[in-house]
Amino acid sequence: MDFKFDTVEEEFRSEVRKFIDKELPWNWREEDLDAEDEVDSIKVMEFKKKLGEQGWLTMAWPTKYGGQSATHMRQVVFNEEMAYRGIPAGDAGVRMVGPILMLYGTDEQKEQFLPKIANAEINWSQGYSEPDSGSDLASLQTRAVEDGDDFVVSGSKIWNSAHAGSDWMFMLVRTDPDAPKHRGISFVLSELETDGVTVERIPMMWEAYRGLVTFDNVRVPKKNL
């Protein structure tokens, strides 16, 4: 079995390398950029936008969702070159939110979010763990109570990566407190620049930060379910 990349894929690798040599700030490796740092995250997002302009962040996505319908091997070549240069190109929007919306999202959600993810116009933070609930997601306590056209969300999410510079959070919340603990849990999308949301930085041992995001009666439209 031949595991070599074909000629077209290697030509694309050369194209990516030339682009990086031209567009990547020369001192990124020396600075050891941290995508979780508030200042560094701005630099990372600026470079991601350049990748988005090339259509490379979501090249394996279908064209109707902002991708190029490229082969997964072509995506592998791109991922390899990003990793080799230490470029944090992949993010939760590209790898998690986008694929979930393509499979389960409404047409309105796809239209609203997928093009912005493909163009790196918005940044996402993951909201699963809580102060008293880690890998056991069935024990999560963040509540989302229906109120008209909205959910009112109360609770906290912790160890959030990419909290610095994030615009939105995709998170799990409890929408039915009377259901068995492994049920009654829903996936919602919440804008972070909204009333009732506070973000605290938690210093880690390796000179990085994670986030504690608290929701105090935050209104999230039901259309974001």
Q: What percent of the chain has pLDDT over 70?
A: 88
Residue that has been written with the tokens 């056991």 in this structure: 136
> pLDDT by residue (tens digit) across 33-91?
555 556 666 777 888 889 999 999 999 999 999 899 999 899 999 999 988 887 777 78
- Sorted by where each starts, the structural domains of the chain and their CATH numbers stand as 7-118 (1.10.540.10), 124-224 (2.40.110.10)
Q: Which of 113, 105, 120 is nearest to 49 (CA)?
A: 120
> pLDDT by residue (tens digit) across 13-37?
999 999 988 887 766 654 555 555 5
Look up residue 57 and give its two tokens: 């962040």
> pLDDT by residue (tens digit) across 178-189?
999 899 999 999
- List, in order, residues 6 or more apart from 90 with CB less than 8 Å away: 57, 79, 82
Mean pLDDT, the chain, integer: 86
Amino acid at 121: E
Residue 150's pLDDT band (cuts 50, 70, 90):
very high
- d(Cα 190, Cα 222) in Å, to the nearest integer? 10
pLDDT at residue 206 in the model: 66
Residues recorded for the chain? 225
Exposed / middle / buried, residue 42 (Cβ in 10 Å: 0-12, 13-18, 19+):
exposed
pLDDT at residue 166 in the model: 81
What's the mean pLDDT in 192-203?
84
Q: Is residue 119 helix, strand or coil?
A: coil
Residue that has been written with the tokens 């940044």 in this structure: 123
With a cut of 60, say whether residue 165 has pLDDT above it. Answer: yes
pTM: 0.85
Look up residue 62 and give its two tokens: 């279908």
- d(Cα 118, Cα 116) in Å, to the nearest integer? 5
